[in-house]
Chain A
Amino acid sequence: MSPAPSTRAPAAGDRTVVLVGRPNAGKSSVFNAITGSSARVGNYPGVTVDVLEGLARGKDGATLTVVDLPGLYSLKTAVQKDSDEGVARSFIERLARTDASPPLVLQVLDPTRLALGLKLTQEVLALGLPVGLVLTQKDVLHDEGRQVDAAALAAAVGAPVVLVDARSKESAREAILDLVARAAGRADDADTSSPTFDAAEVARSVVSDVRGGHKEGARERTRRIDALLLHPLVGPVLFLGIMTALFAAVFLVADPATNLMEALVTRGREVMLRTLGKNLLSSFLSDGVLNGAGTVLAFMPQIVILTVALELLEATGYLARGAFLVDRVLGALGLSGRSFVPLLMGHACAVPAIGATRVIRDPRERLTAILVLPLTTCSARLPTYGVVIGAFFADKSALFKAAVFVTLYFSGLLSALVTSLVLRRTATKGTSLPLVMEMPAYRLPIAGAVAKRAWRTSTRFLRDVGTTIVLVASILWAALHVPVPGAEARPDASAAEKSVAASLGRSVEPLTKLAGFDWRINVGLVGSFGQRELMVGTLGVIMGVEDADEEPRKLSAHLREAKKPDGTARYSTATGLALLAFFVLACQCMSTVAAIRRETRSWRWPALVLAYTYSVGFAAAVLVYQIARAVGAG
């Protein structure tokens, strides 16, 4: 199977051009310059990191499929097979095996750190494939008052070289396409032997100072900014300030966005009911499909804000500084400083935070972060806790309710930390290199590139996660509305009582009784499987209380007054506490599950998350219920 899917027959001269380079070498801007707007995430079987591909027209009219591999330090050595290095190496090897004409490798180098880049060049040349070198950041080099002799470099390494400023796209594009033509032309000559050279020696001989370069270099500027941003006192304070601002932006935007989406969904429902009448189909469309779609759209503003913020932090070089400052703290949990931003953002919403784990380079660490993120106390948990507390503990003191609320909040954090420690010793254990992270020079980000990536991330979220959410919402609707066969024989029962969910709730009741959950609560749990916010509304439906989520007092009174056949209260304080314990741990969020599925590209990890959060959640509920009863809260 060719890794570059194409709908037309390849013409002579068509090639795959693979971009490789160290992180921060300027690869993305080179990729954007050549491919323009045609970039999309390539679909390569078995490749677990995003590989961007785009098309370009070569000088000879041939079609070039340009592939942007993740940044890497080495092709020869990889700490792990699934690290960026491992993925890149197997990707190039497979291409060399399967493509008709050999792929062309373009290495992107930062000329201000040429000696480092040339170490990789030696490994690239050893592949025996046609190679071209693109030196970027001509502007930065110029600002530092230095110049590089491209011809001398080409002679020394035995491959064509071009120096570009990727910010002026047109000229960069022309120069690079010209380079591709030259490199491809060389490949057709028989000589593929690569000269051996000393990277540091070559770098010294081709880079020279020029007169008149009096501007402050990027290096000195970076040192000066670092003296402030990494200052032992000022640094952490600034970092916390930036993180608080980012967190507030993600957190606060959720509310108006959700309100807007809810208003839209309500409006859609009204229109639907008017046109279709009140029947099973209109209920399916409004409560199932529209509800699911509304959920997806409600996440969009958060996703966009977090993506743009992360791109900016990464592109300016600040993300590495933040990781430097907090690495020690996270090290105690088996994680590195790079996990900080995703874990913090999880407290606003796990869904964009799971996407944000892409900043974690170590694959095992990234997986750990993805698996514990569903436990963080996200913004959707807070109103749910509020309503459940309101419904079950309406007669308790405000102090009691506040204490429960605070305990719940920190239980989420604590459980995430404990789970991380456990996972690092079990499911995600194995050697992973402790923090070795490049501290790039500070740069001004290119607005267009940041916007493009934010757009790409958001649209992919809509497509990948949206379909799963709408699907699950539809299935859950059916479970709550479609009667089980034979239920028609009980005309006095409500539709909800005859549903598949109700019979499921009854069948597990003997088990869930251990936590004080009767079949009605179980139905609520089925209803909130996809979205924890739906718990109270579903409970309202099953208990015949209308608009329970907007007016929890009515449901609360109902819960208080409900009696068992023997006259004792059906729902005690212990049941409420057990239910909350379950809510802290269980991943009742199909959006999170869909996001995990998307980021890990397998159903194995989302299945593990569901299995472990539900079983630990249930165990905790049983424990809390039994203890609460033992101390007399029954």
Chain B
Amino acid sequence: MTLADATAGSDVRVESVDLGDEQANGWLSAVGIGAGERLTVLRRAAFGGPLHVATSSGGEFALAVAVARRVTVTPVDGREPSEGGER
């Protein structure tokens, strides 16, 4: 599944990112959305607008659906303690 399919409130782990360009993939990973990162979908904007996600490394981002479609994820069950001393 892709991040675009994730429902609000769910937790997922990023498997891969493919924006069709190495630089763009690297940039997205530097922003905080790269393989291995655990994401919580906080909410989705109305009418297919962007997703609001929190990353396990402590950032919160708005992501357009067009980007979320290129992010392959797997659902994560239960609540692991988040990383980086973040709460």
Contact = CB atoms under 8 A, between A and B. Distances in A.
Contacts of B87: 144, 217, 219
A200 B29 CA distance: 13
Interface in B50-65: 50, 52, 55-64
Nearest to B59: A116
A73 B63 contact: no
Given A320-B62, A433-B24, A439-B61, A230 B67 contact: no
A437 B67 CA distance: 11
A436 B66 contact: no
B50 A77 contact: no
A203 to B, nearest CB: 4
Contacts of A437: 50, 61-62
Contacts of B30: 73-74, 76-77, 119-120, 123
A116 B83 contact: no
A207 B84 contact: yes
Interface in A437-488: 437-441
Interface in B9-48: 19, 21-33, 42-43, 45-48
A116 B58 contact: yes
Identify the interface centre among B25, B31, B33: most chain A CB within 10 Å of its CB.
Answer: B31
A73 B31 contact: yes
Contacts of A85: 27
B85 interface: yes
A114 B58 contact: yes
A436 B63 contact: yes
B45 A433 contact: no
Interface in B69-87: 83-87
Given A74-B27, A114-B84, A207-B85, A328 B50 contact: yes
Contacts of A199: 57
Contact of A203 (B25, B64, B85): B85
A112 B55 CA distance: 13
Contacts of A337: 50, 62
Contact of B83 (A144, A204, A226, A323): A204
B46 to A, nearest CB: 6
Nearest to B70: A434
A481 B18 CA distance: 63
A127 interface: no
A116 B26 contact: no
Interface in A212-255: 217, 219, 222-223, 226, 230, 232, 236
Contact of B57 (A73, A115, A222): A115
Contacts of B85: 114, 146, 203-204, 206-209
A79 B26 CA distance: 9
Interface residues of B, number: 40
B43 A331 contact: no
Contacts of B42: 223, 226
Contact of B24 (A76, A79, A439): A79
B26 A74 contact: yes
Contacts of B29: 77
A339 interface: no
A325 interface: yes
Interface string A323-356: 1110110010000110000000000000000000
Contacts of B47: 328
A623 interface: no
B27 A434 contact: no
B69 to A, nearest CB: 10
Contacts of A115: 57-58, 83-84, 86
B57 A327 contact: no
A439 B52 contact: yes
Contacts of B60: 222, 438-441
A123 B27 CA distance: 12
A439 B52 CA distance: 8
Contacts of B25: 77
A236 B52 CA distance: 16
Nearest to B83: A200
Nearest to B48: A328
Nearest to B23: A77
Nearest to A72: B30
A434 B64 contact: yes
A440 B63 CA distance: 14
Contact of A325 (B19, B45, B57, B59): B45
Contacts of B56: 200
Contacts of A434: 64, 66-67
B31 A324 contact: no
Nearest to A438: B61
Contact of A439 (B33, B48, B62): B62
B61 to A, nearest CB: 6
A453 B12 CA distance: 40
A431 interface: yes
A206 B60 CA distance: 21
Interface in A172-222: 199-200, 203-204, 206-209, 217, 219, 222
16 contacts: A73-B30, A77-B30, A114-B84, A116-B55, A116-B58, A200-B57, A204-B85, A230-B45, A236-B46, A324-B52, A327-B64, A328-B46, A433-B19, A435-B64, A436-B64, A441-B60
Given A78-B23, A115-B84, A436-B61, 13 more contacts: A77-B27, A78-B27, A113-B59, A200-B83, A204-B84, A207-B85, A327-B50, A328-B50, A433-B19, A433-B28, A436-B63, A438-B31, A439-B62
Interface of B: 19, 21-33, 42-43, 45-50, 52, 55-64, 66-67, 83-87
Q: Which 8 A-B pairs have the closest CB atoms?
A: A77-B26, A74-B30, A328-B49, A207-B85, A434-B64, A115-B57, A115-B84, A113-B58
